[in-house]
Amino acid sequence: MLPKARNGSQILTRELDGEFIVYDKRRHRAHCLNPTVAALWQLCDGQTSISDLTAAQSRSFGLAEEERVTHLGLRQLARARLLEEHRMYLEISNGLTRRAIGRHLSLAGATAALLPLVTTIIAPTSAMAQSCLANGIPCATSAQCCSGCCNSGSGKCVGMGNCLP
């Protein structure tokens, strides 16, 4: 099976200040793809072979045709679940690391900045991003209060000086 990028209504993409951002609405994850892995992801159409992906990356970024770099990128995309059939690519480059490949490529004059890199953060849902409660507002736990103190006697957020266990 040839690598195919996930797309559709659950995936949003934006280019922002030279970085490529992919947001997975289903998993509430934002992924920042460096230019090397962004180009790889965009070429994963389910019809392009790994050797053709490697050749395209070599032409675009001036890298030696090194399939291990492509495998590393596919593995990172699979970990981020940005590929259809992602499980298949999790093991394809087992044992390869950015450090090991970077060490190998540095002998050939390539820079580590060209190695594929996916950085992922969990994006909070609107419920998760809710603000804390001000003093005087009913609460159930101290974690809900901006002051960090929910008075068990009154059941309201209070300042630290009025905090009773």
Which residues touch 128 (CB under 8 Å, ≥6 apart)? none
Given its phi and psi angles, is residue 148 left (phi above 0), alpha (psi -120 to 50 degrees) or beta?
Answer: left
For residues 115 and 135, membership in a common domain is answered with no
**Which has the higher per-residue pLDDT, 81 or 161?**
81
pLDDT surpassing 80 at residue 165: no
Range of the domain at 28: 11-122
Residue 113's pLDDT is: 60
- Same domain (yes/no): 95, 151: no
Average pLDDT over every residue of 49-76 = 86
The DSSP secondary-structure symbol of 160 reads G
Q: Tell whether 4 is covered by a domain.
A: no
Check whether residue 59 and residue 117 sit in a common domain.
Answer: yes
Report d(CA 3, CA 73) in Å as an integer. 11
Same domain, 36 and 106: yes
Q: Which amino acid is at 6?
A: R
Q: How confident is the model at residue 70 (pLDDT cuts 50, 70, 90)?
A: confident
pLDDT recorded at residue 42: 93
Same domain, 71 and 145: no
Domain count across the chain? 2
Assess whether 90 and 15 both reside in one domain: yes
- In this prediction, residues 122-151 reach a mean pLDDT of 78
* C-alpha–C-alpha distance, residues 66 and 36, integer Å: 13
Q: Does 76 have pLDDT greater than 50?
A: yes
The answer on 106 and 88 residing in a single domain is yes
5 lies in some domain: no
105 and 146 assigned to the same domain: no
Whether residue 88 sits in one domain with residue 138: no
Whether the per-residue pLDDT at 96 is higher than 60: the answer is yes
* Enclosing H/E stretch for 58: helix 50-61
**Average pLDDT for 98-108:** 59
Q: Is the pLDDT of residue 107 over 70?
A: no
Average pLDDT over residues 126-154: 80
> 105 and 140: one domain?
no
Question: pTM of the entire structure?
Answer: 0.66
Question: Who has greater pLDDT, 160 or 132?
Answer: 132
Same domain (yes/no): 110, 158: no
Domain-located, residue 157 = yes
> Would you say residue 2 lies in a domain?
no
Is the domain of 26 the same as that of 106?
yes
